[in-house]
Structure 1
Amino acid sequence: MKSFLRENPTIAFGLGLPLLLVTLFLLISGIPALLVAPPQYDLLFATEYYNYQNGVQISVINRSVQVIDQGNMPNNQKPRIWRYNAQTGAVQEIAFILPPRPVVSGQNRANENQPAATDERPEASIINLPDLDGVTVDSSSIAPDGYEFSIGNSTSRNVFGGLFYSSRYRNAAVLSKNGRTIRLPDMAGRYYRGNTHFIGWVIPS
């Protein structure tokens, strides 16, 4: 085999170049993980969030997360809020309960025990988030430690990133900084898609 490769340097070069490029890419992509410090701040984000005008809206006001229910979420759609723990890498859901929806005018009543239909516009209400009581949130796109949250791109920001891009990361949620990329775990087997909404970073009070 060695003699064959010595006698055919073009073939040897053609076989060795891809292996060399892969090895070089692995070395370069692994350097940021060693040189760039891990994230220091927890992340808050929402999934299944459609931001309808009359639905549930999530905002950061005075550095606190507020969920405002406009009272008319189409098809009873409800966003889910998550907290990524920077220290453990775990993702926890921040649960909240929406008030009962009024019956839409014109809906058939199965029996007389159902509430009467109404055409009145429901009043907006603020939903309590017990798990975020006293939590201070910075809604800046970049965390104080330099990390950014993004969807659909977990390749390293270098010349080799595009060459080795994998389609399995198209719906991945990631934190990235100076070439280091940290993929957030999936929740309940769900993929991250266009309805994922960045909320902010948890910072000291």
Structure 2
Amino acid sequence: MKSFLRDNPTIAFGLGLPLLLVTLFLLASGLPTLLVAPPQNDLLFATEYVNNQAGLQIAVISRSVQLIDQGSRTNDHRPRIWRYHVKTGAVQEIAFVLPASHTKKTPSVRTKPQRIDLPDLQGVEVDSSSIAPDGYEFVLNTRSDSRLFGGLFYSSGYRYGAALRKSGRHIPLPSITNQYYRGRTHFIGWVSP
């Protein structure tokens, strides 16, 4: 085999170059995972969130997450709030109970907004900066199932996903809701240690 490849350098080059390129691409894609430190701050985000001025609003006020019922609602959109634990990779839903006036079939009309308690976030300080203190950022992206060739070829496997990103390192968040509604994902903030 060695003599065949030595006598035919074009064939050796034709076989060796693609293998070398694949190896280089695999190494280059894995380097950020080895060189960039893992995230340190838990993340809070909402799914199924519709930014409707008359509905439920999520805000960070004085480093505290607040869920505010703005009054009359004309639809049944109810956001789900999640906490992503960076140490374990687990996602925990932050449960809340809507007031009785909010669950009526006819829209309730109030003159002032009503705050809804979030017991799981009691005493949790949140930084609503777009970039975490450790340098990671929350991104929403459309990715294809064909990761190697990306947009070069047609692929019907497009999905929407949320991820943490820093200096080339990309950590996808677990898919917790219907992938086609990821456009309604809303960044809330980073949990301060």
Could you say which TM-score interval applies, normalised by the shorter chain? 0.7 to 0.9
Give the aligned partner of residue 184 of structure 1: 173
User: Equivalent residues in 2 for 1:115-134 (5 A)?
Assistant: 120-121=109-110, 123-134=112-123
Residue identity matched to 1:53: Q
Residue identity matched to 2:178: R
Q: CA deviation at 1:65?
A: 0.4
SS at match of 2:160: coil
User: Equivalent residues in 2 for 1:1-205 (5 A)?
Assistant: 5-6=5-6, 8-100=8-100, 101=102, 102-104=104-106, 120-121=109-110, 123-152=112-141, 164-165=149-150, 170-187=159-176, 190-191=178-179, 193-204=182-193
Q: Using the aligned pairs only, state the percent identity.
A: 66
1:154–1:174: 8 Å Cα contact kept in structure 2?
no
CA distance in structure 2 between the partners assigned to 1:134 and 1:6 by the alignment: 71
How many pairs does the alignment contain? Answer: 184
1:64–1:136: 8 Å Cα contact kept in structure 2?
yes
SS at match of 1:152: strand
SS at match of 1:171: strand
Residue identity matched to 2:123: G
Choose 1 or 2 for highest CA Rg. Answer: 1
Residue identity matched to 1:150: V
CA distance in structure 1 between the partners assigned to 2:129 and 2:56 by the alignment: 21
Cα deviation 1:56-102 (Å, max 9, x = unaligned): 11010111001111233343110000000011110000011112334
1:174–1:182: 8 Å Cα contact kept in structure 2?
yes
Which blocks of at least 5 consecutive residues in structure 2 are unaligned?
Answer: none
CA distance in structure 2 between the partners assigned to 1:154 and 1:176 by the alignment: 14
Indicate the RMSD between aligned Cα atoms, in angstroms: 2.8
